[in-house]
Chains A and B, each alone.
Chain A
Amino acid sequence: MNSQLRLSTQTALGIFVALLLGYINQGFSQGEITGPVETPNLPKTSTPTPSVLPTTLPLTTTVETLAPPRPFETLPGVWMVQVVAYPDSHPIIVDVSKLSSGRLTSSQIGDSHVRILDAEGIVIYELGFQPSFHLFDVPASVDEMTYFFIIPDLENVNWLQVLTPQGEAKYEFPFDE
């Protein structure tokens, strides 16, 4: 059997294989999320209280005013995640700590995400945000930006993942309280 291809066929097939590989490899650079994002089954509370933390709070600059989280509920037992984003490098999860109660950070439109994954890599909670490295009131640029996110305390979670266009950071559960 002649198993060789013609050069033109091999080249055309090569481009197809490269596109297929690119599609597969894309998961490495943009995280492992391809399936639908499920709505988290959050615990409910019947005692609304004022917000204990801002939604997305950069420490070193002002950012656009973010929409308040909905519903306006303060949940018991939430996690506060401190993330440092960089313009030319992957983000770093600096700290994850438990709060006795808090209001969840609302999701924004942006190219970056905070995700909670289960053991099989399925996204069970997701927040979007848009890192900005420009100080609008000075004006100037900064080399890093710190953000705080409040995420729910869910069951059967395995990973916390922060994705920016520059890369990803992962944090394995269980979190130290």
Chain B
Amino acid sequence: MNEPQFDKKLAIPRSAWLGGLLWAAPVEPGLYGDGYLEGVLITTNHKSSVARFCSAAEENPIGILAIDASGLSPKAAVAFDLIKEQDVQRALDLLPDSMRRDIGRVLIPLSLTMALGSQNLLKDFPVQTIPDHLDLLGEYISDPALNTTPNKTTQMQAITQRLLAGFRLWMGQVLVFTIPLLIFGWHSLFWGTICLLLGTIAVSLFWRILPHTGSFRGFVAGFILALILGSTLFLAGSADWRTIIRYSLSIWIDTAWMGIVLTGVRQK
């Protein structure tokens, strides 16, 4: 994970809603905003999120601290375990002393509170939980007394968030895959897209129980899917072994690829 940089002034990014929605859209981790900081708002280094928070906080002395989460949105980053409470604490610790002394509060968007465990590492700072909804952000940022009740993380919420984030990234990959697959015919496009979707669902559903970390999960999930598909076709006796191998290989590669995609991208 890239540590946030504080030795240079970072330009506020322009929102890229489509890129931020269908692809991981990373910006440089660090502090966005300048001058006196009355508070620091924590978010991931997701381009649209940083732009959105900067826009909401532009009339307030609030800095936006972007933490490296592979360019995924806060919700997606939390769902895929790409950001943890220790990352937030480490980023705050890296702030220059002059800034740390003056920080009156740390603003945590509701979506990120799911990443804050029970360790309460942020006890040195007054934490204000703010909503993610754009219309309410300005009001909460202006008034430190307002606070939103943090969500209590449930397994079902995390799975739902992973499925939603996975589905968005799947749509982005469909755009990338369409023309190359279409070169080989409609059947290739159809089956390739379905395999990508099945891989996305499998990796998203079983993210936390799959072994190892990062993109290796996709590799493992794909292998299991390929075994299941191959065994089913073999037992059904509806295809010869070459067809079984092709189908299994296809779903394995697709799922492994989605495992890579779901871990986000590097900024540089």
A-side interface residues toward B, CB under 8 Å?
1-7, 10-11, 14-15, 17-30, 32, 117, 119-121, 158-159
Is the Cβ of B257 less than 8 Å from the Cβ of A22?
no
Q: Which residues of B contact A22 (CB under 8 A)?
A: 180-185, 188, 192
Contact partners of A17 in chain B: CB under 8 A: 177, 253, 257
- How many A-B residue contacts, CB cutoff 8 Å? 115
**Contacts A21-B250, A29-B185, A120-B241: A3 and B192 contacting too (C-beta < 8 A)?**
no
B215 on interface, CB distance cutoff 8 Å: yes
Chain A: minimal CB distance from B96 (Å): 25
Question: Given known contacts A14-B177, A18-B176, is B242 in contact with A27 (CB within 8 Å)?
Answer: yes
Instruction: Answer yes or no: B187 CB below 8 A from chain A CBs.
Output: yes
Q: How far is the CA of A50 from the CA of B251 in the complex (A)?
A: 53
Q: A23-B184, A29-B185, A121-B242 are in contact. Are A7 and B261 (CB under 8 A)?
A: no
Quick one: which of B1, B180, B185, B188 contacts A15, CB cutoff 8 A? B180
Chain B neighbourhood of A159, CB < 8 A: 240
Given contacts A14-B173, A19-B180, A21-B253, is CB(A26)–CB(B188) below 8 Å? yes
Alpha-carbon separation in the docked complex, A78 to B152 (Å): 74
Q: Is B167 an interface position by the 8 A CB rule?
A: no
The number of chain B residues with a CB under 8 A from chain A is 46
- 8 additional A-B residue pairs with CB within 8 Å, beyond A2-B266, A27-B246, A121-B241: A1-B214, A3-B214, A4-B70, A18-B176, A20-B253, A23-B184, A28-B243, A29-B186
Choose from A4, A18, A24 the contact partner of B266 (Cβ within 8 Å). A4
Known: A4-B70, A4-B265, A5-B260. A25 touches B246 (CB 8 A): yes
